[in-house]
Structure 1
Amino acid sequence: MHNRRYSILPRWLSYALFFTFLMTGIAVSSLAYLTASAYWERTTSAAQEIAMVEAAASEMIGSLEPVIVQEFVPTAEALPAAQVTETAVAAEATTVATERVTILVMGIDRRPGEPFVSRTDSMILLSINPVKNTASMLSVPRDLYTDIPGYGRNRINTAFVYGAQNGGPAGGAELAMETVSYNLGVHIDHYVLVDFSAFVKSIDSLGGIDVNVPREIYDPTYPDMGYGYDPFYIAAGNQHLDGLTALKYARTRHVDSDFGRALRQQQVLLAARSKIMNLGFDQMLQSFPQLYQHVSDGIRTDLALNELVTLAATAGSIPSENINTGVLDTTYVSSYTTPQGAQVLIL
């Protein structure tokens, strides 16, 4: 295991993500991921550039001194969610976290019938600081070319696959967390993995979400579940999205880029959070055990159900104006061609 560097980076955890990006096992909610970057041994000037990126990211999300909630302990297998009764959940709903928590939320590119090991389609670093009553969400592009501890340099979305080869989903999540932590100097407490099915079911369980689409989108090569094409269109303006449409809106990228997609993913997560609050946060917490079991086949996390509920209650108490979002875009990354000819992004 490589030594990790620790730096300041805000954390966000949102119940929206819970019912949305995994609901992502969520109550951490959801989604973006994060931000890892290639830090193999580089020249002094490159090191200075990295320092500038980390400083910029900290400023973008907030510069709060991290409080470690719990040291990450690798496990050989995914930890099962705790079975909690409605009564227990109702009691937990009155409990909120008291220390800063950071969670790596990963969306898995997994189709029906496939094993729970695939490249991460999206990565979002969520952090919540109950002392400051703030939360943050940072998305990292999947094509970011990074140093993956023990495996050399590759796209960051391959870290999960490498780790899962011998350790299953938990091993994959561990290596993904280590990759982000090692490259960015950010302590990560927990992880949540969500596949397409869990995402769709989570949004549908809310009765859909409402988003303001900034511009018309037409993606003729949007991939379907059979690796073919399923053309996607959505008009500009206020739109009500069901689970499948929300997934397409969050995943399409051919009309702009991964950066635009990251912004849409954050928009979806925040819309899910807003819907949860409007429906009645406390009431939804009480029905959470049934909902979680409905989507649990598509979720993997090292958080117990009661921990998710506690984090959800904490996230739900944070005002919307105190939620910061950011994307590692062209302000911080640039295009690069690998020796093998692949087009990637580097810090």
Structure 2
Amino acid sequence: MQPQNANEQRELLTLATQTKIALSQAVETEVKFANWTGTISRSQFNELIQPLVKRSLMTCRRALKDAGVEGEEIREVVMVGGSTRVPFVREQVGEFFGKTPLTSIDPDKVVALGAAIQADILVGNKPDADMLLLDVVPLSLGIETMGGLVEKIIPRNTTIPVARAQEFTTAKDGQTAMSVHVLQGERELVEDCRSLGRFTLRGIPPMVAGAATIRVTYQVDADGLLSVTAMEKSTKVQASIQIKPSYGLTDEEVTQMIKSSMANAKEDMEARQLAEQRVEADRVIDTVISALQEDGAEVLSIEEFKAIEAEIQKLIDLKQGSDRVAIAQGIKELDHATQAFAAKRMNLSIQKALAGKAVDEII
């Protein structure tokens, strides 16, 4: 039976609803559409709706996982919506939770009853009530870090209101500003997440890389409004932004983003590990080059200097590839090649510190 126009489609939808209701009471029912007449049994109906029921149970399984609760910990199961009157639905739900679902409450009215109870609690009429519905963050909120990675600060399903803070540092010597990129999503790379906004923290005291401490605070209020603040701890200089994370995002898009993170979990983790190795390689290369520029000519022979430069170039070449194990090995080899240089730099620093001082001044 294929509808030919909008009127026939509406008629079929009405017929499907009537058939569902009839088969909730009887094992077989007669169906009439246009010039066609036939019968459909409850077993045939169950077979048709099985994919939908299976999908609903997958949602239940995901909800239990997100809440960190086992099925046997659920005390009662309340059915919501007219379709939960279907015997097959009740049977499958009962098997999934290992207990018979409650059917004494009208499934068409249970949401309204629950909302009324929640409203009564929220206005303070039942301060000691042990039931409270909590809003949660639907998708993780994070920040972009070096290498195009996402550091999650508030994980998905965290109850709101909530405030979380994390400390970060500078990546370059003399860095006086930091760009804060606010992201939403479950993936590991920035390109796979939703950008919520950006702002820049200026006025960071110029120091060597890694010396400054920037505290980034994410706060979501009861209305779902996200406030992000970045503060340099020594000067207290700060910058902030306010965002509505759910703006322009449908329930279907949230679900798709979660499914995408699950489907790509392995590939995402491999991509993250590769990016982390590249970031570490950049850090080591910058550190060694800076040291060579500062003291290399003074403590190294030409051959020693060139040998370290060769290891640096080798690591630069490895970093362009996608073999994270090879990059990690290249970092180790550069570290090994610079050990003698590091010792000579230490001796030079000690000599400079002691130059011109008497023995009794040192002791």
Q: TM-score, normalised by structure 2?
A: 0.21
- The structure with the largest helix share of the pair is 2
Task: Indicate the structure (1 or 2) with the bigger Cα radius of gyration.
Answer: 2
| Greater RCO structure (CA 8 Å; 6+ sep) | 1
Q: TM-score, normalised by structure 1?
A: 0.22
